[in-house]
Structure 1
């Protein structure tokens, strides 16, 4: 059984169903064709879905009330942001196993391979945005032609302020559409909401315009900054200081520091720390390396293991031991 109340552009609707085939048809109509299976057949499906559409965006709060496997395969011409409110989702994104929970949202782009395992208590806030308008907006903001889908990071930390702010903004728009679905029929209001959400999505979510800006900066790097960057990449396992780097590239420490701040947005030592974090992740995924987070972390200069684990999770969306388990 399902209920549905629609309002023109807003298309505000409430769906409920205990039938697996009916649920799959409803969800396919909102997102895309997919396979839906209950992983524990004894459980009763209790699908609940509040949905609202506004132009090129749609918003949902949904859950299945049972353990389910959802397999859309390859996504179509849209972007999808999924924010678990309760429970969790063990997903496979382009062949990589990830876990999304109330601390970690997931972002998926056109052509992304996706398989999901929703827990029975999993409830999500989900935003869909059509590909063409978002990428047109990206071109308008950056002044650069798109060479493919925007490369958002697949798993993001909801404790990061900008990510949490974007989710809160999208939830506010969803709440307003539920209170007054006719807002989506007002062109000026709809355009204002869409422009705000696209601008902040591209600016605040990891991998959006931030990645393009970093690429542009690297193309314009002064010689001494590029030389220091290359030196750190080649000698990241050695004891390095600002004085060492400045001597190697032939500038003062102050000039080097100012160059990194201006063109890369971080200090030389922060850049080195981030680089070593990447190298530690590579070793954690390498089955030929020691099966010890402690040994790998200390090899790359991370002696405060609690801080390493916290920074690692904030950066990569999972704990170091979870990365190691995937690589073994």
Structure 2
């Protein structure tokens, strides 16, 4: 995969809070962490330790950055950027971190190893997902860049239970290495690309909007569970019961009642009394759509009613943001496709 993670100067593009590190001791002691606030505030992340390998006097001129660290957030997901000029080793220490980490290599390579398992070499064509258990190490080559998406354990297990429609006996255990070009990873690959573009955009389209943020992280976690191999994969592949239209009515009633709020699929499924998989089946069978597209349509219909009934001072941007559309241009395209006219035309009629 051709992941473009940095500008020409080697720094992560806009969307990241960055720390440029020139002192080896600063990197190895972790004293740069405060520069990344308000991201990665949980104390567990300080169990991540770095050490520089093969240190050589004069290897870098004093004006060079030894490393660049970046941090950002997308809904429930903490996103880290790492660019090391020298070979370095990252280790999970202490009692570890309960969360999962999806790692995308943009440049160079790294070796992943954890206690009791064979080591794997990861390059831009391979993806990596691991849990922050003690004695997990990532050893990178020099001139290496990567993005790490940290997914809360509770969020991932909650989505897995919602997919299965039943509590899970234990946390998912993933096979750590996968190939990005596999056909079944198309959705996950697309969502990662969307996140990379969003983090690098001068004006983000959804990261500043709570409803859109939650929908995106929700979708990425579900895609990860459906496309990567783990100990519940076989259960997810089993045929699932297609629920009755009553479930559909309850789901749609919940969506209508919450069009101005962030909506997660597991919340809709819980209100409907079914699993997320069953929810997906019933929308496909009875509405020929997906739950996410249905949520968008209900938001558009609510926005249409708001435009028609609001006073003449209402703005397109205010209505778009109210119903979870952080990008007015995208809202306009969706609205016109749904109703055959633009929201500005509705506003103009009101003002006339």
Aligned to 2:178: 156
Query: In the alignment, does 2:66 pair up with 1:46?
Result: yes
Aligned to 1:35: 49
Q: TM-score by structure 1 length?
A: 0.56
**1:59–1:174 Cα contact (<8 Å) kept:** no
Computed over aligned residues only, the root mean square deviation of the Cα atoms, in angstroms, reads 2.7
1: CA distance, partners of 2:31 / 2:167: 37
Aligned to 1:141: 163
Relative to total residues, which structure has the larger helix share, 1 or 2?
Answer: 1
How far is 1:20 from its partner? 2.6
2: CA distance, partners of 1:49 / 1:166: 25
Please give the residue correspondences for 1:169-248 in structure 2 after superposition, counting only pairs within 5 Å. 169-179=191-201, 180=203, 183-207=206-230, 209-213=232-236
Q: Which runs of 5+ in 1 are unaligned?
A: 1-9, 218-328
How far is 1:80 from its partner? 0.1
Aligned to 1:69: 89
The C-alpha deviation readout for 1:209-266, integer Å capped at 9, x for no partner, is 524335x68xxxxxxxxxxxxxxxxxxxxxxxxxxxxxxxxxxxxxxxxxxxxxxxxx
Q: Which runs of 5+ in 2 are unaligned?
A: 1-13, 240-352
2: CA distance, partners of 1:209 / 1:90: 26
The correspondence for 2:24, drawn from 20, 26, 33, is 20
Number of residue pairs matched by the alignment: 207
Query: In the alignment, does 2:190 pair up with 1:168?
Result: yes
**2:15–2:199 Cα contact (<8 Å) kept:** no
What SS class does the counterpart of residue 15 from structure 1 fall into?
Answer: strand
Aligned to 1:121: 143
**1:105–1:158 Cα contact (<8 Å) kept:** yes
Q: TM-score by structure 2 length?
A: 0.53
**2:187–2:223 Cα contact (<8 Å) kept:** no
How far is 1:199 from its partner? 1.1
1: CA distance, partners of 2:107 / 2:160: 32
2: CA distance, partners of 1:110 / 1:89: 16
2: CA distance, partners of 1:181 / 1:189: 11
The C-alpha deviation readout for 1:174-233, integer Å capped at 9, x for no partner, is 42244235843422111111111111111112227524335x68xxxxxxxxxxxxxxxx
